[in-house]
Amino acid sequence: MVRGDVRRYLTDVYLYAEKLPAHQSVVASKLQSINIITAMLSARLIDVVAAQSGSRIFTEHELQVNEIKLAATVQRHIDELLKLDLPKDQVAKIRKVNTKFSFVKKSLINYDDITPYFLVHRNIMTIGDLLKGTSQAIAGS
């Protein structure tokens, strides 16, 4: 029951965030988007693999979240950030995010992929830490 409530909540948060206007800072907005999407995809993955019925647990409402589209959005944001003229330390962190996301992307969009899920979760947590540091550096500039 609790997992179902969390699934609905994550879906509602995602759908609400999609309707919000972009943040004033394009870079901060992209970093925030990457962080939110990767955390949500990771939570959905862990929820699905913990359920005996797999991805059939999703209701019609929850199926509005398209994992493939979200992963493409994250990759597009990363690519756009790498093209910007950011300080070297921030570029290095974004490259690390890109490497870690590339490692887990297939598992986040294909629930049948056999990957140690603790590795996926750990990489997503590291992505969050890297993005937090990058966001703070941008806010301080």
Delimit the domains of the chain by residue range: 2-140
Decide: 34 and 131 in contact? Cβ < 8 Å.
Answer: yes
At 21 the pLDDT is 56
Taking only the tens of pLDDT, the chain with its 141 residues reads 667 777 777 777 777 766 665 545 778 888 888 988 998 888 888 888 777 666 677 888 888 888 999 999 999 999 999 998 888 999 999 999 999 999 999 888 887 776 677 788 788 889 989 988 776 665 555
At 118 the pLDDT is 76
Strand, helix or coil at 92? helix
Cα 58 to its chain centre, rounded Å, is: 19
Cα 36 to its chain centre, rounded Å, is: 5
Q: Does domain 2-140 have CATH number 1.20.120?
A: yes
At 100 the pLDDT is 94
Q: Which two tokens stand for residue 58?
A: 């999703």
At 3 the pLDDT is 73
What is the distance between the alpha carbons of residues 68 and 113, in angstroms, rounded to a whole number? 14
What is the distance between the alpha carbons of residues 26 and 14, in angstroms, rounded to a whole number? 19
Decide: 46 and 107 in contact? Cβ < 8 Å.
Answer: no
At 10 the pLDDT is 76
Strand, helix or coil at 104? helix
